[in-house]
Amino acid sequence: MRISELATATQTSVKTIRYYEQVGLITKTTRSDNGYRQYGDKDTKTLIFIRRCRALNMAISDIKQLLLLQQNPAASCEAVDSMVKKQLDDIRQQQKELALLEHTLSSLAASCANQKIEDCCILSQLQAN
């Protein structure tokens, strides 16, 4: 299939597919006589896997490692477990940081009832040392 067909089949943009080729997540494919890239079922499966990993906010480097690990099906999945646990820990930390950010923004939003910029409590607090 051509790149546009692969994009449709995997719900991935053509630009993203080219980027994944560029960074080595998917292998550069062969080209037909007319110069079009040709993809197969393996590429479809790989792109769906990558898309799902990206939906979990996994880094490109982690996805590369997971793709490499898949090449040795008899190996222990300890590295995969470790990567997922680290990702979960990272997400939990981000949640804590976002909760703090929400609290700070909520406090700022509630702090100003003035009508003029010169009296704005939010701007005053953001400029304070």
Question: pLDDT (tens digit, 9 = 90+) per residue, 78-89?
Answer: 999 999 999 999
Identify whether the C-beta of residue 121 lies closer than 8 Å to the C-beta of residue 112. yes
The CA-CA-CA angle for residues 72, 69, 43, to 5°, reads: 95
Question: Angle, to 10 degrees, between the axis of helix 3-10 and the axis of helix 14-23?
Answer: 100
Token representation of residue 10:
């995997």
Residue showing tokens 């997540």: 25
What 8-state DSSP symbol labels residue 29? P
- Report the pLDDT averaged over residues 16-20: 95
Q: What is the pTM of this model?
A: 0.78
Question: pLDDT (tens digit, 9 = 90+) per residue, 41-55?
Answer: 999 999 999 999 999
